[in-house]
């Protein structure tokens, strides 16, 4: 079956490139992995198109039995339905393009086989995740992508900051995994199976049931869904468990595009959509999902406003967009969440790869304060990122046409309004405000990077390149540096993704979120609320215009502050200093966690070790006994050999006594 090849070709390629490594050399490793991914991509699109035109139905391809323990039985198997098909094209397309892009971006790296092996390994794990037919295989993929993410964030392992970020990503995700695992345990306890279709079929019947958990009784489905959602929050970097994502930008930029924007971080959204009938059985859980999603969308957008590192701005933007997807799921618009996941994968990968192209051109400088005026030097990158920005800010004309985000993001905002619930209104309001912020920080990025005068010479990277200090350069703020447009392997993916960013919304919105087409397209692979989808298209005009107006306000403010009067940002920051600092320091989450989790863990560990083990258990146990023994007999020096013999003696004496007793009685 094609699906088997799609999933296992990347694994095979990863093994060849990874184990072959320096033996087979750079080019074969790159060729093998990239070909495998393009093959997987080529096989994935026909599957997707099959579901798009309604000619395919869901099927499961068994691979191998996995675990049998009483009632708990599950297999390795590949499930293909509409939801999987959507993820297949997202994962394989972006991955194939990122593989190709990396030919250019990683060209000078001495460790290329390892890099491509990791990328392919990641793709395999992600594909296992999206084709999972049971919760445990989903968890396998979940942890597999976590491993790949860890390895790729820490790819440049000589850098301490990259290592720290890698560990942070893995450990924070493990906090989420604690919830996921507990969710799986609970699900098995209640339903007696971990098979996803069986659970989803039984879930509605459990509405209103209660369960004892941690000493209290709670609503059953709420407990299960929230536990699983904690897992989703970890992987998708939602508020509270988001701290690893910005740090993950330590990894090479193609990794950020593939894993930390387009695919892995959306796994949480995928999980909630896959399990949507479960979540539908718990209104409380859905409320939590909505609120967490909305808060994340707003939080991340506020932080994104003030960051100066180009990758971090896009990282917070990703975090924020994931928040949108979650609150869409929370209000019951799972199809809208998946649609935004789909379009976001293209335009966010585009923005990241574009940023990579800028970084490549700017001699590894990532600080936007040292960019400026790059539009004329790297025009193709500029136009690609322009398309990405138009897509993410949701540019379009109501009733006519627009870029990808115009359909998907605005769809989410409208669905929140249309849901009619109080929490839906809350999400709608936050969604519009966050749209304004999104527009502002996205255009700020564009203006700082591509417009205005060059400020390159202030960058240490550029100074190293041109061997000049800012003083030596004088009035020539370029320092004589010449940014070059990226090579073909990098430009081709940008081009392909540009097409996606422009057209993905327009081409696919009928299938994904239209009330009638949508029901047929999704075909039961997620909970499709045709009524809500219908309402969504019937919202008042002001609601439809709200996000467009928000977008325009954001754009105008950015123009004013970064094109018209560029002394304004400093003035605003000065006037709103406390808020500015609060945003700049990411709401102090890292500092907080460091104080309440990291430091106490190490302190407790030291306490248990020195005071617990050595100061108490040993002191009153073996060491205390030693003192007694030593004072009781003056034979302490002979203890070494004495122990062995006395031990053997005691044992032998015991046995002899036993045998004698048995024989004489």
Partner 1 sequence: MNDLGFPILSLMLAVPMAAAIACLFVSANTARWLALIATLVDLALGIVLWMNFDIGGAQWQFVERAALFDRFSWALGIDGIALMLIMLSVFLMPICIGASWEAIQTRVGEYMAAFLLMEVLMIGVFAAQDIFLFYIFFEAGLIPMYLIIGIWGGANRIYASYKFFLYTLLGSVLMLIAMFWMVNEAGTSDIPTLMAYDFPLEAQSWLWLAFFASFAVKMPMWPVHTWLPDAHVQAPTAGSVILAGVLLKMGGYGFIRFSLPMFPDASVDYIWLVFALSMVAVVYTSLIALVQSDMKKLIAYSSVAHMAIVTVGLFAFNRQGLEGALVVMLSHGLVSGALFLCVGVIYDRLHTREIDRYGGLSINMPRYALLFLLFTMASIGLPGTSGFVGEFLSLVGVYEVSSWVAIVSTTGIILGAAYMLYLYRRVAYGVIKSDDVAAMPDLTKREIALLLPIAIVVLWMGVYPESFMAPMRKDVGALEARLASAKPVGDAQVKLGATPVLSPAAHAEEGHH
DSSP code for 375: G
Which residue has tokens 């909505």? 290
> Is residue 474 part of the contact set for partner 1 (CB under 8 A)?
no
Could you say whether residue 205 binds partner 1 (CB under 8 A)? yes
Complex with partner 1: residue 179 or 489, whichever CB lies closer: 179
The verdict on 182 binding partner 1 (CB under 8 A) reads yes
Q: Which is nearer to partner 1, 191 or 512 (CB)?
A: 191
In angstroms, the CA 373 to CA 655 distance is 90
Near partner 1 in 618-647, by CB under 8 A: 618, 621-622, 625-626, 639-640, 643-644, 647
Residue 596 is a binding residue for partner 1 (CB under 8 A): no
The answer to the question of residue 546 lying near partner 1 (CB under 8 A) is no
* Distances from the Cα of 386 to the Cα of 279, 306, 372, 383, 489, angstroms: 38, 20, 15, 5, 20
Q: Dig out the tokens for 459 from the structure.
A: 């960058």
Q: Which of 372, 380, 379 is nearest to 445 (CA)?
A: 372
Rounded Cα–Cα distance for residues 225 and 445 (Å): 38
- For residue 539, is it left (φ>0), alpha (ψ between -120 and 50) or beta? beta
Q: Does 254 bind partner 1 (CB under 8 A)?
A: no
Q: Segment near partner 1 (CB under 8 A), from 47-55, 86-94, 141-149, 566-574?
A: 141-149
Biggest distance spanned by C-alpha atoms of the chain: 109
Cβ contacts of 419 within 8 Å, gap of 6 or more: 331, 332, 333, 532, 535
Q: Which stretch binds partner 1 (CB under 8 A): 66-74, 509-517, 540-548, 561-569?
A: 66-74
In 3D space, the residue among 243, 229, 187, 233 whose CA is nearest the CA of residue 211 turns out to be 187
User: What string of H, E and C letters represents the secondary structure of 48-99?
Assistant: HHHHHCCCCCCEEEEEEEEEEECCEEEEEEEEECHHHHHHHHHHHHHHHHHH
Nearer to partner 1, 145 or 491 (CB): 145
Nearest distance in Å: CB 139, partner 1:
6
Tell me how far, at minimum, the Cβ of 643 lies from partner 1, in Å. 4
Binding flag, residue 663, partner 1 (CB under 8 A) = yes
Give the angle subtended at the CA of 51 by the CAs of 49 and 56, to the nearest 5°: 115
Which of the residues 264 through 283 are near partner 1 (CB under 8 A)?
277, 280
Contact 513, 406 (CB under 8 A): no
Tell me the C-alpha to C-alpha distance, in Å, between residue 632 and each of 197, 368, 627, 628, 638.
70, 76, 8, 6, 14
Q: Which residues pair with 396 in a beta bridge?
A: 402
Q: Which of 302, 305, 321, 324 is nearest to 261 (CA)?
A: 321
Site pattern 15..54 for partner 1 (x: CB under 8 A):
---x--xx--------------------------------
Out of 613, 615, 627, 649, the only residue in the binding site for partner 1 (CB under 8 A) is 613
* Nearest to partner 1 of 468, 537 (CB atom): 537
213-232 residues in contact with partner 1 (CB under 8 A) are 213-215, 220
Residue 452 φ then ψ, to 5°: 75, -170
**Least Å from the CB of residue 614 to partner 1:** 8
Neighbours of 321 (CB within 10 A): 30
**Residue 233: CA count within 13 A, CB half-sphere:** 29
Binding of partner 1 by 617 (CB under 8 A)? yes
Binding residue (CB under 8 A) for partner 1 from 397, 542, 602, 634: 602
Q: Judged by CB, which is closer to partner 1: 212, or 379?
A: 212
CB of 75 to partner 1, least distance (A): 11
Contact 118/151 with Cβ under 8 angstroms? yes
Q: Interface with partner 1 includes 158 (CB under 8 A)?
A: yes
Size of residue set near partner 1 by CB under 8 A: 97
Task: Return the residues of window 395-434 that contact partner 1 according to CB under 8 A.
Answer: 419-421
Residue 17 CB, nearest distance to partner 1 (Å)?
13
- Nearer to partner 1 (CB atom), residue 214 or residue 475: 214
* Among 1, 563, 604, 656, interactor with partner 1 by CB under 8 A: 604
Q: How far apart are CA 585 and CA 398, in angstroms?
A: 37
In the region spanning residues 509 to 528, those forming contacts with partner 1, defined by CB under 8 A, are 527-528
Nearest approach, Cβ of 604 to partner 1 (angstroms)? 5
In angstroms, give the least distance from the CB of 235 to partner 1: 14
Based on the shown chain and the rule CB under 8 A, indicate whether residue 210 belongs to the binding site for partner 1.
yes
How far apart CA 527 and CA 540 sit, in angstroms, is 25
Measured in Å, how far apart are the chain's first and last C-alpha atoms?
74
| Helix, strand, or coil (residue 158) | coil
**CA-CA distance, 547 to 441, in Å (whole number)?**
15
Coil, helix or strand for 217? strand
Map the footprint of partner 1 across residues 91-110, applying CB under 8 A.
none
**Residue 186 Cβ vs partner 1, minimum distance, rounded to whole Å:** 7
Q: Which of 188, 383, 580, 589 binds partner 1 (CB under 8 A)?
A: 188
Closest separation between CB of residue 370 and partner 1, Å? 27
| Chosen residue from 31, 163, 485, 487 binding partner 1 by CB under 8 A | 163
Considering the complex, what minimum distance in angstroms separates the CB of residue 151 from partner 1? 8
**For partner 1, which stretch binds (CB under 8 A), given 42-50, 147-155, 250-258, 567-575?**
147-155
């Amino acid at each position: 079956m094609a699906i088997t090849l799609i999933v296992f070709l990347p694994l095979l390629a990863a093994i060849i490139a990874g184990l072959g490594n320096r033996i087979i050399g750079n080019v074969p490793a790159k060729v093998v992995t990239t070909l495998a991914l393009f093959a997987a991509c080529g096989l994935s699109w026909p599957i997707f198109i099959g579901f798009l035109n309604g000619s395919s139905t869901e099927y499961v391809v068994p691979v191998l039995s996995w675990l049998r323990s009483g009632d708990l039985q599950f297999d390795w198997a590949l499930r293909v339905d509409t939801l999987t098909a959507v993820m297949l094209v997202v994962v394989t397309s972006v991955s194939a393009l990122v593989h190709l892009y990396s030919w250019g971006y990683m060209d000078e790296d001495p460790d290329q086989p390892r890099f491509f092996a990791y990328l392919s390994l990641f793709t395999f794990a992600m594909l296992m995740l999206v084709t999972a037919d049971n919760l445990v295989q989903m968890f396998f993929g979940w942890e597999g992508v976590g491993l790949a993410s860890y390895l790729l964030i820490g790819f440049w392992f000589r850098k301490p900051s990259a290592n720290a970020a890698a560990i942070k990503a893995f450990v924070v995700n493990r906090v989420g995994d604690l919830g996921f695992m507990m969710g799986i345990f609970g699900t098995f306890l209640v339903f007696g199976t971990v098979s996803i279709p069986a659970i989803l079929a039984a879930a509605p019947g459990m509405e209103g049931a209660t369960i004892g958990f941690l000493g209290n009784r709670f609503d059953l489905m709420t407990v299960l869904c929230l536990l699983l959602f904690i897992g989703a929050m970890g992987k998708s970097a939602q508020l509270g468990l988001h701290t690893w994502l910005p740090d993950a930008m330590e990894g090479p930029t193609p990794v950020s595009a593939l894993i930390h924007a387009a695919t892995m971080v959306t796994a949480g959204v995928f999980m909630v959509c896959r399990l949507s009938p479960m979540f539908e059985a718990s209104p409380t859980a859905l409320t939590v999902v909505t609120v967490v999603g909305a808060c994340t969308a707003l939080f991340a957008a506020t932080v994104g406003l003030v960051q100066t590192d180009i990758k971090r701005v896009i990282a917070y933007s990703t975090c924020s967009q994931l928040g949108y997807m979650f609150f869409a799921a929370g209000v019951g618009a799972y199809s809208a969440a998946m649609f935004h996941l789909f379009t976001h994968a293209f335009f966010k990968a585009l923005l990241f790869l574009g940023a990579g192209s800028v970084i490549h051109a700017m001699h590894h400088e990532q600080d936007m304060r040292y960019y400026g005026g790059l539009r004329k030097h790297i025009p193709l990158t500029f136009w690609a990122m322009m398309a990405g920005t138009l897509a993410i800010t949701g540019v379009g004309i109501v009733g006519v046409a627009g870029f990808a985000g115009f359909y998907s993001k605005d769809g989410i905002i409208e669905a929140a309004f249309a849901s009619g619930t109080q929490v839906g209104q809350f999400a709608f309001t936050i969604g519009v405000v966050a749209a304004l912020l999104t527009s502002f920080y996205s255009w700020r990025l564009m203006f700082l990077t591509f417009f205005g005068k060059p400020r390159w010479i202030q960058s240490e990277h550029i100074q190293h390149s041109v061997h000049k200090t800012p003083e030596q350069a004088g009035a020539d703020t370029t320092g004589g540096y010449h940014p070059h447009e990226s090579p073909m392997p990098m430009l081709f993916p940008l081009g392909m993704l540009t097409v996606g960013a422009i057209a993905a919304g327009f081409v696919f919105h009928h299938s994904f979120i239209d009330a009638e087409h949508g029901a047929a397209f999704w075909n039961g692979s997620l909970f499709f609320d045709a009524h809500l989808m219908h309402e969504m298209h019937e919202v008042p005009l002001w609601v439809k215009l709200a996000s467009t107006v928000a977008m325009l306000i954001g754009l105008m403010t950015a123009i004013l502050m970064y094109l018209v009067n560029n002394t304004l940002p400093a003035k605003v920051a000065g006037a709103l200093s406390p808020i500015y600092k609060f945003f700049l320091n990411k709401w102090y989450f890292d500092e907080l966690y460091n104080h309440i989790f990291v430091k106490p863990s190490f302190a407790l560990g030291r306490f248990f070790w020195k005071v617990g083990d050595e100061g108490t258990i040993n002191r009153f146990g073996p060491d205390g006994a030693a003192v007694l023994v030593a004072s009781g007999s003056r034979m302490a020096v002979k203890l070494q050999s004495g122990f062995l013999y006395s031990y053997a003696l005691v044992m032998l004496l015991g046995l002899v006594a036993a045998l004698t007793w048995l024989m004489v009685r």
